[in-house]
């Protein structure tokens, strides 16, 4: 790798490279070498900005968790507009089409990463925790507007939806489920059929 070339935002460049590796070859291929090669930088760039690879991964997941807030705002803005099943299916398809589908495997198999996340005060599984909050907030907003049954339990329905859709995405790395497949889960879980 060439040296002495200024990198505009090395952290973001490395984070974006990690995302491409995760969404391509998957979590098993995610190494510091794979990330730096994908980013087109020397391996030392990663180690100049992060104490080790687990520190890099922790910051990467925290960054991606913060991005879910943008998805959350877009979904909540749709409350009261359009079909709730369509809105949720679109949001879940987009959400699990990202790094979210790999977070469980990544955190489960890296003890150092889990330790870093806990030390940083990150609750649960980053990205998935925020995605769960996003879905529950949307369901609660639609229930409050009277577009979903008053007896609907947003927390329980969210766990059903997020867990089910995550399993469907996790089992289909080559060709993710279609919008209509995800919508079917939403309709069944919410009893909208």
- Where b means 16+ CB within 10 Å and e means fewer, 85-117 reads bebbbbbbbebbebbbbbbeebbeebeebbebb
User: How sure is the predictor about 173, in pLDDT bands with cuts at 50, 70 and 90?
Assistant: low
Q: CA–CA separation, 3 vs 19, rounded Å? A: 24
pLDDT tens-digit series, residues 135-154? 999 999 999 999 999 999 99
Residue range 34-52: average pLDDT? 94
pLDDT tens-digit series, residues 89-107? 999 999 998 889 888 888 8
Question: What pLDDT does residue 7 have?
Answer: 55
Q: CA–CA separation, 172 vs 185, rounded Å? A: 16
Question: What pLDDT does residue 109 have?
Answer: 86
Domains along the chain? 8-49 (1.10.10), 67-190 (1.10.357)
What is the token pair recorded at 34?
A: 């794979």
Q: Smallest Cα–Cα separation from 9: which of 41, 38, 44, 57?
A: 41
What is the token pair recorded at 150?
A: 């008053």
For CA atoms 150, 155, 158, 163, the dihedral sign is negative
User: How sure is the predictor about 1, in pLDDT bands with cuts at 50, 70 and 90?
Assistant: very low
pTM above 0.85, yes or no: yes
In sequence order, the 6+-apart residues with CB closer than 8 A to the CB of 21 are 29, 30, 34, 35, 38
Q: Percent of the chain scored above 70 by pLDDT?
A: 95
């Amino acid at each position: 790798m060439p040296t002495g070339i200024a990198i505009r935002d090395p952290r973001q460049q490395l984070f974006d490279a990690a995302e491409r590796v995760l969404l391509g070859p998957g979590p098993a291929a995610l190494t510091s070498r794979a990330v730096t090669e994908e980013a087109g930088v020397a391996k030392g760039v990663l180690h100049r900005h992060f104490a080790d690879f687990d520190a890099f991964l922790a910051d990467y997941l925290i960054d991606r968790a913060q991005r879910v807030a943008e998805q959350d705002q877009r979904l909540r803005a749709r409350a009261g507009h359009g079909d709730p099943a369509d809105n949720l299916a679109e949001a879940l398809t987009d959400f699990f089409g990202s790094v979210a589908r790999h977070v469980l495997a990544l955190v489960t198999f890296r003890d150092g990463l889990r330790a870093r996340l806990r030390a940083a005060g990150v609750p649960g599984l980053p990205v998935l925790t925020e995605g769960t909050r996003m879905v529950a907030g949307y369901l609660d907003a639609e229930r409050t507007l009277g577009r979903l049954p008053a007896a609907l339990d947003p927390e329980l329905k969210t766990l059903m939806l997020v867990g089910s859709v995550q399993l469907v995405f996790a089992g289909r790395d080559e060709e993710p489920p279609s919008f209509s497949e995800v919508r079917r889960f939403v309709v069944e879980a919410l009893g909208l059929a």
